[in-house]
Amino acid sequence: ELLWVDDPLWNPEHDAVAAAMAELGWRIAEVRHDVHAYPLTLDAFDPSRIVEELGVDRGWIERLVLATSAWSNVYRLVRA
């Protein structure tokens, strides 16, 4: 059994990883949606780009990011 934490909404490589796991002989047996939460960090974003594109205050966007949690799905994989 293998647990994989990921989410296709924020990871553009999700489908490629799932396909690679299948090629390695793993199949998804169960998905628990939005059960893994973790705090966001500014490293995951480009605050300057967000400020430029949205026209918002940089301090506000930084506080928003730091006050927000991201959520992921937990996939239980088993050997196919």
Q: What are 20's two structure tokens? A: 């690679």
Residue identified by tokens 């924020």 is 10
Q: Please return the burial class of 39, using the count of CB atoms within 10 Å of its CB with bins 0-12, 13-18 and 19+.
A: exposed
The predicted pLDDT at position 44 comes to 82
The predicted pLDDT at position 46 comes to 87
Q: What are 12's two structure tokens? A: 């553009």
Cβ count near 12 (within 10 Å): 8
Spatial separation of the C-alpha atoms in residues 63 and 65, rounded to whole Å: 6
The predicted pLDDT at position 35 comes to 93
Per-residue confidence in pLDDT tens, the chain, 80 aa? 999 999 998 899 999 999 999 999 999 999 999 998 989 999 888 889 999 999 999 999 999 999 999 999 999 999 99
pTM of the model: 0.70
